[in-house]
Amino acid sequence: MPPLTLNSGPEDTEMSMGTVVGVGAKAAQACVPCRKQKRKCDKGLPACGLCSRMGRICDYTEVQQAPTAEDLMSMQMKIFELEQRLNQKEQENGRSIASPNGNSNSSGGTPGPSASFLSVVNERPPLWMPAQSKFPSAMFLDIDCFIYASLPVPKPSAEIPMDVLEILSNANALQQAVTDYFNTVHCWFPIISKKRMNMGHPLHEGGTDLAMLFLAMKLVSSPPVNGVASADSHLYVASKRFLALLESSGTISLMYLQAMILVAIYEFGHSIYPAAWMTVGACSRYAEILGLPSYKDSVVILGQLATWTELEERRRVWWGIFVLDRVICLGNKRRPVAPSPNPNDILPMNDTAWDEGDVANALQSTVSAPFSDAQGPFARLCQAAILIDRVQSHLRSTIKRHRARDPEPFSLQEVTAIVDDLTSFSSLISSELAAASASTSSPPSNSSPAQPPTSPPGAFTYPSPMHSNPTTT
């Protein structure tokens, strides 16, 4: 063991009293005078050789660097967070010791066992955590600034609630819900790409909005529960709360809009008012945010397209909103929210070609195309909604002229044109339904006796929106 010596001399005034150092020991870093003068320091203890020769104090203490702006900002944020936690804890403690009649325990004594129990209950995290929107407001305040700055659209920041996770946690049940949806609702209201879903594209693109879409698909394809009102259904309540949570977090995506449309279909089909009316209106406003049905406007928010099936999906989403918006205004005679399509707007293409990704049969027609052109079932539904829009627009204009005491409030020429189009379109639909019914029924065999028809002539069999058993109208 080397001999030990005690520091002595003037050079140890900055060293601690009674420090014991070994012979030949070295300091961990250069001394302060050598660092300031950028001289080579031999790090000798108790003093380096240069300081000993110069007769100056050798200081080996570390120099604390001045805090940067980032350090000050971080410290301020930590202080602010601590203050928020303290204020929240004080509020929780104030609520936990409140008496049943509203008088708080202002005495300095220890709260009773009931107050301690309430304090524990209040400290438990709520089932639904509030989410803060991080969406840039520049898109709504100045869209040109938003486009010029190339501001990104943030991903949904909300977390999936626990009750939704319990519904979607079973992989087999989730797959069955998706299968039921494409076998029922998708047959008569196809707004979700079956091909892209089978290829797994939404799984790579979505987050919490994809979970909302799966929940809505399960909601709209599940049969009603006996003894439970449709508005009180567990799936419906969870869907509405999840939609509100994603909206508060600033979620902007096509899958969120698709989920909202499916919830609107459920509300309209089960006569849940005024929720159905409000949801359809929200869908129309949300489509305006996404820039639908314009391809150029939708690219700003939804991004570039990779395939033609994705373009068709965006178009069908807008047409689905248009159909719901016109149908829901039939009885109340209120003004719709979604704008009327232009004559050059494109109708949905053939449904089978879109589901299978068949480009060869993906023929497109415009709104101004004659009814005699071959169209798919969903395109026919859109054409029917266009006729409804013409009738509603004519009624509103006629009532307005009548209230203004116009000498000629009725336009007989316009009425005649609408009636002619309605008559020809109705005859066309009847003939197409009869042809579809004849093609789906197999011809009777010569060896077997003729069987009575299972449906009346001209009937068309389609899946019901609320269950998987076919119904006939």
- For residue 32, list its beta bridge partners: none
Crossing angle for the helix pair 208-221 and 234-248, to the nearest 10 degrees: 150
Q: How many CB atoms lie under 10 A from the CB of residue 324?
A: 25
pLDDT at 132: 64
pLDDT of residue 380: 94
Mean pLDDT by 10 residues, the chain (473 residues): 43 41 72 85 87 85 64 66 70 55 45 42 48 73 80 78 87 87 94 88 78 94 90 94 91 93 96 95 93 79 83 94 94 88 92 88 89 91 94 88 80 88 92 82 48 36 38 36
- Coil, strand or helix at 405: coil
pLDDT of 92 reads: 66
Determine if the pTM surpasses 0.75: no
Phi, psi of 104 (to 5 degrees): -85, 155
Measuring CA to CA, how many Å separate 373 from each of 307, 341, 376? 26, 18, 10
173 — phi, psi (to 5°)? Answer: -65, -35
Residues 6+ apart with CB under 8 A from 282: 260
Report the Cα 147 to chain-centroid distance in Å: 21
Residue 368: what pLDDT?
A: 92
Find residue 472's DSSP bridge partners.
461
Q: Distance between CA atoms of 344 and 297, rounded to whole angstroms? A: 17
User: What is the rounded distance in angstroms from the CA atom of residue 287 to the CA atom of residue 244?
Assistant: 17
d(CA 285, CA 318): 11
pLDDT of residue 467: 41
Give the per-residue pLDDT at 281.
95
